[in-house]
Chain A
Amino acid sequence: MSAAATALPAAEERGAPLAPLSRLRLLTRNKLALTGAVAAAILVLIAVFAPLIAPYDPARPDFTAALREPGWAHWLGTDDLGRDQLSRVVYGVRASLQIGLLAVALAFAAGVPLGLIAGYYGRFADSVVSRLTDTLLAFPFLVLAVGLATILGPSLLNATIAVGVSQIPAVIRITRAETLRLKHLDYVAAAVANGGGDGTVLFRHILPGALSALTVQATVGIPTAIIGEALLSFLGLGVQPPSPSLGVMLSSAQAYIAAAPWMAVFPGLAIIAATLAFNLLGDGLRDILDPQGDSR
């Protein structure tokens, strides 16, 4: 047993929870995670400052400049209506991230409480929640999202809901599994023995223990949601033209794939970049937060 002052390095080796600062240090040591974090941060900045970055109005057509190749006036070229591709990609990233974050937030708002209830109370509650989860999981993610969006009708909000709901089962599964693991730990028993009610035990003792798994799930949920948004918009079930979205851009690029390949290439690259950034970050976080794994 080391004294408090020297305890940190030893604790790190044992995989005990780390203070926030040393976790950040681990993140910078993991190259892939760092790349993902930096890329994700750049994407978020692009989304936030989209109006400042975009050189043109992304929705204003200019028929004198239709289907221009990438050049000095339009770095990424223009589309069939003469809209600036760079501006549309910037705003498309904004829409993607917005939907991605909102959908994941929705999935967590619904999935975490359900998972906690199922895992902690077990028995009847668990049966109900788990069978519901199984039912939803029987559909592949994208099929479920498309189905829900079709039922709800095409709009930005409905696309967000569809993508979010499609992610709920995964969140429930992870929360439930973590709750099952944590509720048998001594400190949870100790909290009950000291008079802790269900609320205290669930939110102060079980949920914090599940946070690392949930953080990873959130980070890998965002790229999934981005792809979901792109697909829905591509099929006309998500963002409605003329609003810019990466999926909408891909959809309209179909007809010009031979004549103006840049119309498809740049939104495609943007989707890849956004997905890759959050996936790398998520994988990196998993390595860092998993006490069993070798984080270096």
Chain B
Amino acid sequence: MTTSTAPPALSVRDLSVVFRTPTRVVHAVDGLSFDIAAGEVLAVVGESGCGKSVTSTAVLGLLPPTASVGGSIRLGGRELVGADESELRDVRGRELAMIFQEPMTSLNPVLTIGRQVGEVLRRHQGIGRREARERAVDLLDLVGIPAPAQRARDYPHQLSGGMRQRVMIAIAIACDPAVLIADEPTTALDVTVQAGILEVLRSLRERLGTAIVLITHDLGVVADTADRVLVMYAGRGVEQAPVDELFGAPRHPYTRGLLGAVPVPGRGRAAGGRRRLQEIPGLVPSLTEQPDRCTFQPRCSYADERCGEQRPALRALRAPRERDERSAGYERYGPERHEAACWYPVPVHPEPTEPEPTEEEAAS
């Protein structure tokens, strides 16, 4: 999709989010790093409670005062960790926008949708009421709302859930943000509406070159929309790869478990009789401690002593053989790179002789 030479639109390095309460300390995000380039869709997946939403909230600087954020979040060269509130306010909605999970409650019920879209424009671009109104109608048209001039005068309760989510997207893209964070944008919608919303996101990426961080736990949505996937487990990034490669050859046991838990119609029977859908045994660990081991080790069937003693870092893996000639010169930021945080990455089938990770990250 994109070349690896352009600087990333959003670059997160070693992000940690710690919630401190009088009784306990929760490490919600621990050493998370990822990049996203303009026009790229990065999906962040993982079980509930693995830190996906905390990450997006941290990027926007909207965490409550009980949270302490470490590491670095750079948006087009501007550092957001530790930036003051007025600077963040200037960035939010203009360079960095967010689409929320619940379209039913994320719009103000007492303002017309035209005004709500126009409000963002007036705030960040200092244009007049009339011009904002016209631009709002254009935006509603862009996100596929029929008869936008009439709908602009409607109140949120007059629209369906899918239409409201389109309005939320219109608000988010009003100022042409460099990065759009979509936190489970389709979870609250039914499947047909979901397809429409994803289509809108795809066309935005193509038309406006927006970088989209798609947070979801729906692997179908990921396969359908994303270019690259970051898998999170217990606040850490455990695998990152281009979408085809991740689905075709998952290297981290957790990712394999996730994919194995997706029902595929016909697969069980074709393989000879009904098979039980594979779930990952055990539960997500408590985040109150920060163990020096692989956090997935207690649930992992591949684990040995090393997994229980040393924490594996997210490292680049050698690509499957058919890509070998291209995998030679990985740059520090490369959309083709496949990384996993595992001592014993699952071998790529049908090449069981290639389990060893390489040390290509040494340069960084």
Q: Show the binding face of A for B, using Cβ within 8 Å.
A: 1-4, 7-8, 11, 14, 16-17, 19, 185-187, 189-197, 200, 204-205, 208-209, 211
Which B positions have Cβ atoms within 8 angstroms of A?
Answer: 60, 62, 89-94, 97-98, 100, 102, 105-111, 119-120, 123-124, 151, 154-155, 157-162, 168, 171-172
Residues of chain B contacted by A186 (CB below 8 angstroms):
100, 102, 105-106
Instruction: Give Cα distance in the complex from A208 to B155, angstroms.
Output: 14
Q: Are B108 and A191 in contact (CB under 8 A)?
A: yes
A196 — nearest CB in chain B belongs to which residue?
Answer: B123
Contacts of B172 in A (CB 8 A): 194
Given contacts A187-B107, A195-B123, 19 further A-B contacts (CB under 8 A): A1-B161, A2-B160, A3-B160, A4-B151, A7-B157, A7-B158, A8-B158, A11-B158, A14-B157, A19-B155, A186-B105, A190-B171, A192-B62, A193-B62, A194-B98, A195-B94, A196-B119, A205-B108, A209-B108
> Is B62's CB under 8 angstroms from A17's CB?
no
Nearest to A191 among chain B residues (CB) is B108
Pick the contact of B120: A2, A194, A211 (CB < 8 A): A194
- Contact between B168 and A204 (Cβ–Cβ < 8 Å)? no
**Is A11 within 8 A of B160, CB to CB?**
no
In the docked arrangement, what's the CA distance between A193 and B93, Å?
Answer: 7
Smallest CB separation, A13 vs chain B (Å): 11
A-B contact pairs, 19 of them (CB 8 A): A2-B160, A11-B158, A14-B157, A17-B110, A17-B155, A17-B157, A189-B106, A190-B106, A191-B108, A193-B98, A194-B93, A194-B97, A195-B89, A195-B91, A195-B120, A196-B93, A196-B123, A197-B89, A208-B110
Q: Which residues of B contact A190 (CB under 8 A)?
A: 98, 100, 106-107, 168, 171
Contacts A11-B158, A190-B168: A195 and B105 contacting too (C-beta < 8 A)? Answer: no
Nearest A residue to B181 via CB reads A193
Tell me if A's interface is mostly helix, strand, loop or mixed: helix
B92 partner residues in chain A, CB cutoff 8 A: 192-195
* B171 x A189 contact (CB < 8 A): no
Q: Check A189 against B120 for contact (C-beta < 8 Å).
A: no
Contacts of B119 in A (CB 8 A): 196, 200, 204
State the Cβ distance, A211 to closest chain B Cβ, in Å. 8
Closest CB of chain B to A1's CB: distance in Å? 3
Q: Which residues of B lie under 8 Å from residue A196 when comparing CB positions?
A: 89, 93, 119, 123
CB-based contact B102/A194 at 8 Å: no
Chain A min CB distance to B152 (Å): 12
Are the C-beta atoms of B109 and A17 separated by less than 8 Å? yes
Residues in B neighbouring A1, C-beta threshold 8 A: 160-162
Do the beta carbons of A187 and B108 come within 8 Å of each other?
yes
The winner among B93, B155, B158, B171 for most chain A CB atoms within 10 A is B158
Q: B171's closest neighbor in chain A, by CB?
A: A194
Chain A residues within 8 Å of B111, by CB = 204, 208
Which residues of chain B have C-beta atoms less than 8 A from A3's C-beta?
160
Q: Which residues of A contact B89 (CB under 8 A)?
A: 195-197
**CB neighbours of B158 from chain A (8 A):** 4, 7-8, 11
Q: Is the CB of A16 within 8 A of B157?
A: yes
- A186–B164 Cα distance when bound, in Å, is 13
Q: Measured between alpha carbons, how far is A140 from B172 in the docked complex, in Å?
A: 50
